[in-house]
């Protein structure tokens, strides 16, 4: 019986390879690569979007992206060189390298090259640090400071008083003027959270009992998403805020409106909001008294999401959240209000979405 | 008179350079961390601290160069090629000298790398 070993299998495999390569003519190969190109490019589309550090919209994010590119390209070139050397080393040759020549290669390629390249990359990264995280003390004029507190599982945002306007609190949506540096004093109410707007800059932890400072400068307007970047409990992944970068004039208008609060308005929803005790935890400036236990809901209808980045902001989703927050967002501190009549929940939801 | 006899057979010389590296790392790291944590308390400026750590770096590098010189001497100034793997006293000395020289080189590079931030970082980040 004939044994089928490597010696017999190899020619067979080679014949098959030849058959395959014969079927693909050069023009055919080109058309395949042309057809494959869009498919190969699909993963690249993941690099853009509202939550991507690879699509920078801020000074700091641009510096981080630059560092990323230099490191990736540098690493890839070194990898190609090392793999090339490996292939070269694995090939059989008539006259092997002398010990002296090999020693020289090791000294240059294994000692001198890494020392110089690592020194250059290290110096480059340290040199870039002020661009990635500007020294606040040296930023002139001193930027305005917005206080952001991480809470399970939402974001409390306090704007300071400015231009005669009083300071105000909002939640889960940050608005910033384009082209202006803003500082953030970052705090945590319960456990460690992390403040990260990938499109604008690097992240900074929010630690209970500490105040961490960060500053960011957006360079283009747009809507961005900022996830909590430190595991903080069951709904960590559902804790995000939206960032709206606006033209300075629009921003000033928005801020004036926010500081002034909502118009009192009338309607069944407004009455029920107070009647069922919502206003005990959630404040609506200009409508209810101050309440800071839960997220402030002033101009809630302008926000992109309900439940800190969990659902789209529609009356239907707001009603769903009121009925049972824990079903939407496990571990949420707000109790379920499924004992309320459906029409009351719907009225409150409509009222909140109407807070424009 | 020699500082350290040429033929001293002790493992301590082997550790000199890495020890200097470790001490330099600690000096830089701890000084900067304490200075920045107690911002404004220290009676000297950040620049003064940078300068002082620069001097510490030069001292550390000098120590490593000295260690390297002694190792080079112990290795017979490169008169013989490694490996020194004969079970003789002479080969043990040469081997140790060569190993110490290599460790000194590594430590020198590491101290330079550790000192790079001194060139670029000019303030504490609050």
Number of domains chain A contains = 2
- Pick B6 or A187 by higher pLDDT: A187
Q: Kindly determine whether residue B119 and residue A126, on different chains, have CB atoms separated by under 8 Å.
A: yes
* Omega before B83 within 30 of 0, i.e. cis: yes
Asked if residue B126 belongs to a domain, the reply is no
Please, which residues 91-110 of chain B have a Cβ atom closer than 8 Å to chain A? Answer: 105, 109
Q: Kindly determine whether residue B125 and residue A118, on different chains, have CB atoms separated by under 8 Å.
A: no
Q: Kindly determine whether residue A136 and residue B113, on different chains, have CB atoms separated by under 8 Å.
A: no
Predicted local distance difference test score (pLDDT) of residue B46? 87
Alpha-carbon distance A137 to nearest alpha carbon in chain B (angstroms): 8
Cβ atoms of A287 and A271 within 8 Å: the answer is: no
- DSSP secondary structure letters along B64-83: HHHHHHHHHHHTTTTTSPSP
Q: Kindly determine whether residue A123 and residue B121, on different chains, have CB atoms separated by under 8 Å.
A: no
CA distance A323 to A110: 65
Alpha-carbon distance B125 to nearest alpha carbon in chain A (angstroms): 6
Asked if residue A37 belongs to a domain, the reply is yes
Phi and psi (nearest 5°) for A214? -150, 150
Q: Does A117 touch chain B (CB under 8 A)?
A: no
Among residues A134, A118, A172, the alpha carbon closest in space to that of A299 is found at A172
A6 has a pLDDT exceeding 70? no
Q: Kindly determine whether residue B113 and residue A118, on different chains, have CB atoms separated by under 8 Å.
A: yes
Number of domains chain B contains = 1
**Domain range holding A31?**
10-42
Predicted local distance difference test score (pLDDT) of residue A76? 94
- Pick B40 or A210 by higher pLDDT: A210
Provide the residue count of chain B.
126
Cβ atoms of A291 and A279 within 8 Å: the answer is: yes
Alpha-carbon distance B122 to nearest alpha carbon in chain A (angstroms): 9
Predicted local distance difference test score (pLDDT) of residue A28? 56
| Digit-coded pLDDT (tens) for A18-74 | 444 444 445 555 666 677 777 777 777 777 788 888 889 999 999 999 999 999 998
Predicted local distance difference test score (pLDDT) of residue A94? 81
Cβ atoms of A169 and A157 within 8 Å: the answer is: yes
Compute the mean pLDDT over every residue in chain A, rounded to the nearest whole number.
85
Contacts of B116 in chain A (CB under 8 A): 119, 122-123, 126
Alpha-carbon distance B8 to nearest alpha carbon in chain A (angstroms): 29
* Radius of gyration in angstroms for the set of CA atoms belonging to chain B, rounded to a whole number: 19
Asked if residue A312 belongs to a domain, the reply is yes
Among residues A284, A276, A258, the alpha carbon closest in space to that of A353 is found at A284
| Digit-coded pLDDT (tens) for A79-95 | 999 999 899 888 887 88
Asked if residue A144 belongs to a domain, the reply is no
Out of B109, B113, B125, name the one closest to residue A135 (CB): B125
Asked if residue A48 belongs to a domain, the reply is no
**Domain range holding B56?**
12-120
Asked if residue B6 belongs to a domain, the reply is no
Contacts of A123 in chain B (CB under 8 A): 116, 119-120
Asked if residue A285 belongs to a domain, the reply is yes
A117 has a pLDDT exceeding 50? yes
Among residues A256, A295, A291, the alpha carbon closest in space to that of A173 is found at A295
Provide the CATH number for the domain around residue A349.
2.60.40.420
Predicted local distance difference test score (pLDDT) of residue A31? 66
Predicted local distance difference test score (pLDDT) of residue B1? 45
If pLDDT is split at 50, 70 and 90, which confidence band does A7 have? very low
Per-residue confidence in pLDDT tens, chain B, 126 aa:
456 665 566 777 888 999 999 999 999 999 999 998 887 787 888 899 999 999 999 999 999 999 999 888 888 887 777 788 888 888 888 888 899 999 999 999 999 999 999 988 888 876
Q: Which residues pair with A186 in a beta bridge?
A: A148, A212
> Which of A106, A120, A126 to mutate: most B Cβ within 10 Å?
A126
CA distance B116 to A324: 55
Predicted local distance difference test score (pLDDT) of residue B5? 61
A128 has a pLDDT exceeding 50? yes
Asked if residue B7 belongs to a domain, the reply is no
Q: Does B121 touch chain A (CB under 8 A)?
A: yes
| Digit-coded pLDDT (tens) for A228-269 | 999 999 999 999 999 999 999 999 999 988 888 877 767 888
Alpha-carbon distance B103 to nearest alpha carbon in chain A (angstroms): 13
Asked if residue A308 belongs to a domain, the reply is yes
Q: Does B39 touch chain A (CB under 8 A)?
A: no
| Digit-coded pLDDT (tens) for A281-298 | 998 888 887 888 999 999
Predicted local distance difference test score (pLDDT) of residue A269? 86
Predicted model pTM:
0.77
Asked if residue B125 belongs to a domain, the reply is no
Predicted local distance difference test score (pLDDT) of residue A324? 92
If pLDDT is split at 50, 70 and 90, which confidence band does A77 have? very high
Predicted local distance difference test score (pLDDT) of residue B8? 60
Which residue on chain B is closest to A124 by alpha carbon?
A: B120
Asked if residue A289 belongs to a domain, the reply is yes
Asked if residue A102 belongs to a domain, the reply is no
Asked if residue B104 belongs to a domain, the reply is yes
């Amino acid at each position: 019986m004939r044994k089928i070993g490597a010696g017999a299998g190899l020619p067979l495999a080679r014949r098959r390879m030849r058959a395959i390569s014969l079927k693909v003519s050069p023009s055919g190969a080109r058309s395949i690569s042309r057809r494959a190109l869009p498919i190969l490019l699909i993963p690249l589309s993941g690099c853009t979007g509202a939550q991507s550090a690879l699509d920078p919209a801020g000074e700091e994010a641009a510096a981080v992206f630059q560092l990323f590119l230099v490191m990736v390209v540098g690493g890839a070139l070194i990898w190609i060189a090392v793999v090339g050397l490996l292939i070269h080393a694995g090939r059989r040759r008539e006259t092997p390298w002398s010990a002296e020549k090999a020693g020289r290669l090791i000294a240059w390629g294994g000692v001198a090259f890494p020392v110089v390249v690592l020194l250059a990359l290290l110096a480059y990264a340290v040199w870039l640090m002020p661009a990635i995280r500007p020294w606040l003390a040296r930023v002139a004029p001193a930027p305005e400071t917005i206080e952001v507190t991480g809470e399970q599982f939402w974001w409390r945002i306090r704007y300071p008083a400015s231009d005669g306007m009083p300071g105000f609190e909002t939640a889960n949506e940050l608005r910033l003027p384009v082209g202006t540096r803003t500082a953030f004093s970052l705090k945590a109410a319960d456990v460690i959270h992390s403040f990260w707007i990938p499109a604008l800059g690097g992240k900074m932890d929010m630690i209970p009992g500490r105040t961490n400072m960060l500053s960011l400068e957006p360079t283009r307007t747009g809507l961005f998403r900022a996830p909590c970047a430190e595991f903080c409990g069951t709904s960590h992944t559902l804790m995000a805020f939206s960032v709206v970068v606006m033209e300075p004039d629009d921003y000033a208008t928005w801020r004036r409106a926010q500081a002034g609060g909502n118009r009192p308005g009338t309607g069944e929803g407004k009455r029920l909001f107070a009647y069922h005790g919502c206003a005990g935890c959630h404040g609506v400036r200009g409508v209810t008294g101050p309440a800071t236990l839960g997220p402030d809901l002033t101009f809630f209808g302008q926000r992109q999401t309900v439940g800190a980045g969990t659902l789209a902001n529609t009356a239907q989703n707001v009603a769903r959240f009121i009925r049972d927050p824990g079903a939407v967002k496990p571990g949420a501190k707000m109790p379920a209000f499924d004992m309320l009549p459906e029409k009351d929940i719907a009225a409150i939801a409509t009222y909140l979405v109407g807070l424009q | 008179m020699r500082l350290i006899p040429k033929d001293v057979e002790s493992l301590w010389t082997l550790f000199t350079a890495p020890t200097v590296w470790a001490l330099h790392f600690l000096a830089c790291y701890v000084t900067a961390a304490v200075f920045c944590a107690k911002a404004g308390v220290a009676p000297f400026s950040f620049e003064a601290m940078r300068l002082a750590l620069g001097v510490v770096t030069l001292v550390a590098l000098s120590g490593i160069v000295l260690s390297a010189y002694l190792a080079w001497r112990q290795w017979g100034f490169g008169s013989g090629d490694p490996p020194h793997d004969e079970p003789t006293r002479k080969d043990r000395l040469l081997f140790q000298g060569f190993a110490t020289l290599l460790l000194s080189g590594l430590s020198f590079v590491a101290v330079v790398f550790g000192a790079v931030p001194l060139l670029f970082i000019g303030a504490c980040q609050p």
